[in-house]
Amino acid sequence: MSASCMRKFVGLLAFAGACQGTALASQWQGVISGRSETIEIDRASVMPAAGGATAWSRIILDRAVKDPGGSYDAIHALNLYDCKSRRFTTQRRAYFNGDTQVREEEVARQRANTVAVGSIDERLFNVACRVIAGKPALPSATAKAGADSQAGERPVAMHADMRTLASDQAGRKMMPVADTSPVASAEKPKLIVLPPIDKAAAAQAAAAVGQRPASAPPAPAGVTKMPASKMAPPVATTTGTTESLADKRRRELHYANSGPPRATRKKAAAEPATAVESQKPTVLRDIPWSYEGDGGPSNWGKLRADYATCATGKRQSPIDIRDGIRVNLEPIKFEYARTQFRIVDTGHAVQVSVGAGLGLRVMGKRFELSHLEFRRPAEERVNGRTYDMSAQLVHRSDDGQTAVVVVLLEKGTEHPLVQTLWDNLPLERDVEVAPEAVIDLNILLPENRAYWTYMGSLTTPPCTEGVLWMVLKQPMQVAADQVAIFARVFRSNARPVQPANGRLVKESR
């Protein structure tokens, strides 16, 4: 056993046998093949798991990709397949150069993905779930590339954690391997057939209480009644008799609106909630936080117990900056320089990580730059004004305090640093890209470094308080096209303004 495979085996004891090249010999089955890439699944790695199976799959590229840890030409992914709900979650990735493992990592943000019908993910899903179910193997013959007459045709969908590096090969043809596994179709809902109503009895009962028997409503003025010969055929009932659709409708209305009234039960008087219980937010289980819907900002405090501060905190961010006291604030000493970077779409923001050694000094502390994120629109308001975007530079000190510098962005001329970042936007979420380009964060800062400052919180869950905010007063410009590009990725990723609750805001004179 190779040393690299031993490391993988030790790290995946929960998925015994999943490591390629261990005691279980790999059985790679082709799913799609072309001149630019090949996608396969290792049948020998399929192992039972709660509700489904785990399995390794891989994409083999036609060229090596540069990486800080070494070049690689294949990406392996360990997926957890839920065979009942038709969903899968990628748990680990491994990068190989030939048979040599370059590096391996656990997926930091694991989320369940729906298996789309007709996608490559479905082919991988079918193989894994059929192996666990003990069904016959699928054909493994691989179609040759180039037989498709439509130039540049791409598969309907690709393996969610392997798509990015293959996506720049658009224009090259690929042909899926034949997949004869049946696709589960949704069961048609069964019609509830009600017993036929005795019209004469219904009319007699209605007359006894002074009501008119139910009848079809008169046709609106100007509408010609449809001849009986053109009406829909009668509907069969379980008793063997037939009735027209109109009679069926009247019968359903009769059952829906007649019969003895239900007895109303008096609800027991609820015990009054204590003051502490009334302040506890209701927890919405299994809903990830987001910027809209049930997981939106108004519900953040209910999603998890450790998110409660989002609802109960008194020093939350962002705020509408106004009524600041003008004082001689200490200048922020920025220690920025040219650096390489990594960029990732986290699903909530475009996040850019930088090299070590960058940071700032203020208020007697040094804060190391961790990363920067972009928001649209800017979360901070100034005297009620909203800016088109903002860049938030997140720093942390040795004692664990967080300091955020905000650069407000407004539409104007193109910004070169922003363009460099947009040029390297990842094609898929949660896939980090490490381009060869370098950036200089000094050009992101305005010439005038005057700022507002206040104490607040993180603007995303868990909304931790005690964060030092410094908002530079002079905005920088970005092109309208640059704002539009970001809008294609995020319609909006800004938390609404929070109550200031009498907090002190200071600003440079």
pLDDT in tens, 373-409: 999 999 999 999 999 999 999 999 999 999 999 999 9
How far is CA 420 from its chain centroid? 25
Contact residues for 143 (Cβ-Cβ < 8 A; gap 6+): 33, 175, 176, 177, 178
Q: Are 480 and 411 in contact (CB under 8 A)?
A: yes
- Rounded CA separation 304/113 (Å): 21
- Rounded CA separation 82/125 (Å): 9
pLDDT in tens, 331-368: 999 999 999 999 999 999 999 999 999 999 999 999 99
Which CATH code is given to the segment(s) 320-508? 3.10.200.10
pLDDT in tens, 444-489: 999 999 999 999 999 999 999 999 999 999 999 999 999 999 999 8
H helix and E strand count, the chain: 10, 27
| Residue 348 known to be catalytic | yes
Structure tokens at 48: 């039972």
Q: Are 481 and 300 in contact (CB under 8 A)?
A: no
* Local structure of 484: helix, strand or coil: helix
Q: Which residue is catalytic, options 76, 159, 254, 348? A: 348
- Is the pLDDT at 94 greater than 50? The verdict is yes
> What DSSP state is assigned to residue 433?
B
Segment 306-322 shows an average pLDDT of 96
User: CATH topology for 3-176?
Assistant: Lipocalin (2.40.128)
pLDDT in tens, 23-51: 457 888 887 776 556 889 999 889 898 77
Domain map of the chain by residue range? 3-176, 282-312, 320-508
Which of 36, 58, 69, 56 is CA-nearest to residue 166?
A: 36
Judge if 3-176 and 320-508 fold alike in CATH terms.
no
- pTM score, whole prediction: 0.49
- Rounded CA separation 103/181 (Å): 34
> What DSSP state is assigned to residue 24?
S
